[in-house]
Amino acid sequence: MCGIVGYIGEKQAVPILMKGLAKLEYRGYDSAGIAVISDREIAIHKTTGKLENLARKIKGMTIPGTIGIGHTRWATHGGVTDLNAHPHASCKRDLVVIHNGIIENYQELKEDLLAKGHVFQSETDTEVIAHLIEQEFDTLPTLSTGNPLTEAVRRALSQVEGGYAIVVLHRNRPDTIVAARMHNPLIIGLGKGENLVASDIPALLDYTKVVCDLENGQMAEISKNSVRISNLQGKEQPLVTRTITWDVAQAEKGGYPHFLIKEIHETPAVLRDVLRNKIRRGSINPQPLGLEGLDLRKINKITLLGCGSAAYACLYGKYLLEKWTRITTEVQVGSEFRYHQPIIDGSTLVIALSQSGETADTLASIELAKKAKPMRTIGVINAIGSSMTRQVDQVCLLQAGPEISVASTKAFSSMIVSLALMALHIGKVRGVQTDDSFLSEINRLPELTSKVLEQEHEIARIATYYIHHQDAYYIGRDVNYPSALEGSQKLKELSYIHAEAYPAGELKHGPNAVIYDHFPIICLVPEGHVYKKMISNIQEMKARKASILSFATEGDTRIAAHSDHVVFLPRTSEEISVMVNTLAMQLFAYYVTLYKGYSIDQPRSLQKYFPKPGEITAPPKSIDIDKPRNLAKSVTVE
C-alpha cells in the first residue's frame, strides 16, 4: 500500500508533501520521493529507506513551487532502489507519475513502447504509465476544449489492465494535477485556494476535512480553485463530498478503533488485488505464483516451511496440494526444520511462507534446504525487498499491504488463497485437477468475505458469552483442522485465553478429560463430507455439558439443535470454507479481547466493567489490541 500525496495552491509544496507523507508512514514503505514544478521544470528527489533519508537529502536545497506530488513506495515490481522509487518521469522529463497498484499488462506495454524508442530508467510497472501518457500527449490533436493532459491520461489508461491510483504532473500544465482511480483508494481534499489529493485521509486533515472519494473508473482534474470529476470515457460527473469528523489518530486507522479490525475489514479488497494479479482472463497465471518456467510434471515432493500462522497456512496448503495434485507434501515448522535430516532432492519443490520475509527460523530453514539443491525455492512473502526475497529463487507476493497489528489477519488470508491457486495450477498441469468450480469459488472470495463482515455485530454479541473463560478448544476435520489451529492462535495471542486446537476425532484421546461445565468449544462445521462426523463429535461434547459455538453454513437447519450459539457463513465447498471461517474467527477473537477489557500495551491491565452476556457496549478506550504482549512480527532465532 503506497502512500500518495499531491498539492496545488498558493503555499510552498515541499513542506506540505513531506508532512503528508509523514502522516502516511504507518502504511509501511521502503522508499520515498517528491516532484515539484519549479520555474517550468520538474525537480525530482527520491531515495530508498525512511522519509528521514529524503528529508536529509533535500535539506538546504531551495525547491520553490506551489504544485507537487509525493510518494512512499511499497515495492511490487523491481527491487528497493533509488531508480525504482517514485515519482517516475517520461523520456523528456516533461511529466511525472506516482502510482499505487499493479499494472497487469505492463510487460506487453513496455515492449511496445521500447519498440517506439522510449527509454526506461527503472524496473517498475509504474514507469510504463509515464511513457504511455507522454506518447498520448505528444500525439494528441489540438483540442478545442478541455485539458490536453487530462485527455492524454484518459487515453493512456484505456490501454492499461489492472489496479491503480495515479497522480500526474506536466511541466507545461503548472496549473493542473490529474488523478485517476481503479480499485486502489484515492481521496481529494477540498480547501480554500488550494486542493490536495492523497491515498488516505491522515495526509489531508491538517488542511481540510472536506473530501471527495474518487470512485472506480473516475478521474479528477484538479486546480487550486476547482476540481472536475469525469469517468474514463470523458463524461463529466458530480463532485460528491463528505466531511471528516475523525481526529488524526482515528484517521490513521480509517476511523476504526484499532489497526487489527481495520486490517480484518481490508481482507476483501486484498483478495480482490491478489486475484486480479494471479488470475488472468479466467486462468491462473503461474508467473506471480513463482511457478513459471518450472516443469511441474517432474515434482515428486513438496516441502512447505513456516512459523506461527504461516505454519498453519502451510498445513492447509498440504491438504489441498495432496488432494489436487497427488504429490506427497510435508509441512515443516521453521524452528524445527534444522534439527532433523530433511529429505530434499532435485525433484522437491520448497515453498516458504512469511509475512515479513524476515522470520529468522524460516530464513535458516531455506538456507538449509537450498544446500540439498531442490528443484526450486519459492517465497510466499508480503514484504518485497526483505531478506527472504533475496534468498529464494522465485517470489509469490501476498499483496496484502502493511500489517500494523502484530496479529496477522489479511496477510494470512492472502497466504491460503495463494497456496490454493498454486495447488489448482499444479494439479491442472499434471492432469489431476479438472474441476473448475474451485477456481470459480475462489474468484468469488471478495464477495464471500464481504458477506462474513456483515455478520460482525452478531459475532460481537456472541463473543460476550465467552469473555470470562480461561480455556477453549477449537475443533475441525479435514481442511478445517488447520483452520481450527489458526483460530485458536488468534484467540490466545489476543485475549490470553488458553486455547488449543484438535482434529475433532482426537478429543477422546485425552482432551475430553479436562472439559468442565460450559467449557467453550468452537466448532468448524461447514456442510460437506465430514459434517455428520462433526455432529457426532459435538454431541460428545454436549454430553459433557460443554458450551458449543459453531461456525456453520447458511441454510443449515440442523446445527442449531446441537449448539449454544451459531454463526452462519456463506455457502462454499469444504476446501474453500477455510477462507470464510478464518475471517469469522478473527472477528470473534477481536471482540472477545475487546470485551475482556485488556490493555495489551500494559499486560494484564483490566477494565473494571465487563458487558453482560449478549450485551454490546462501547469498547474500553485504553485497549491497544494491535500490540499483544510478548509478541513481534519477526522473531529472532535463539
Please tell me whether residue 538 adopts helix, strand or coil conformation.
Answer: helix
pLDDT digits (tens, 9 = 90+) for 415-442: 999 999 999 999 999 999 888 889 999 9
User: What pLDDT is attached to residue 205?
Assistant: 86
Q: What angle do CA 488, 449, 501 make, to 5 degrees?
A: 15
User: What pLDDT is attached to residue 23?
Assistant: 83
User: What pLDDT is attached to residue 216?
Assistant: 87
Indicate whether this model's pTM tops 0.95. no
Residues 143 and 191 in one domain: yes
Residues 452 and 591 in one domain: yes
Residues 410 and 333 in one domain: yes
SS3 per-residue string spanning 396-431:
EECCCCCCCCCCCCHHHHHHHHHHHHHHHHHHHHCC
Under DSSP, the state recorded for 199 is S
Q: Which residues are known catalytic residues?
A: 2, 608
Residues 393 and 541 in one domain: no
Judged against a pLDDT cut of 50, whether residue 40 lies above it is answered with: yes
Residues 310 and 230 in one domain: no
User: What pLDDT is attached to residue 434?
Assistant: 82
User: What pLDDT is attached to residue 610?
Assistant: 45
The total number of residues written for the chain in this structure:
638
Residues 18 and 118 in one domain: yes
pLDDT digits (tens, 9 = 90+) for 582-636: 999 999 999 999 988 764 322 233 333 445 666 665 555 545 666 665 454 544 3
User: What pLDDT is attached to residue 399?
Assistant: 87
Q: How far apart are CA 247 and CA 195, in angstroms?
A: 20
Q: What's phi and psi for 575, nearest 5 deg? A: -60, -40
Whole-angstrom CA distances from 501 to 223, 438, 471, 549, 569 are 58, 26, 11, 14, 20
pLDDT digits (tens, 9 = 90+) for 317-353: 999 999 999 999 999 999 899 888 889 999 999 999 9
pLDDT digits (tens, 9 = 90+) for 139-159: 887 665 678 899 999 999 999
Please tell me whether residue 17 adopts helix, strand or coil conformation.
Answer: helix
Q: Are 31 and 72 in contact (CB under 8 A)?
A: yes
Picking from 252, 272, 288, the residue at the C-terminal end of a domain is 252
Domain count, the chain: 3
Give 336's Cβ-side CA count (13 Å radius).
Answer: 8
CATH of the domain at 466: 3.40.50.10490
| Lowest mean per-residue pLDDT among 78-92, 139-153, 526-540, 609-623 | 609-623
198: β partners: 5, 187
Give 604's Cβ-side CA count (13 Å radius).
Answer: 1
Beta-strand relationship, 348-354 and 376-381: parallel
Residue range of the domain that includes 340: 256-443
CATH of the domain at 10: 3.60.20.10
Under DSSP, the state recorded for 87 is P
Picking from 387, 420, 443, the residue at the C-terminal end of a domain is 443
Confidence band of 456 (pLDDT split at 50, 70, 90):
very high
Residues 402 and 453 in one domain: no
Residues 193 and 286 in one domain: no
Joined together, the cell numbers standing for residue 499 give 486455547
Residues 550 and 519 in one domain: yes
Residue 353 CB contacts under 8 Å (≥ 6 apart), including other chains: 304, 305, 306, 310, 311, 313, 314, 362, 379, 380, 381, 415, 419
Residue of 224, 226, 185 whose CA lies nearest to 16: 224
The rounded mean pLDDT for the chain is 88
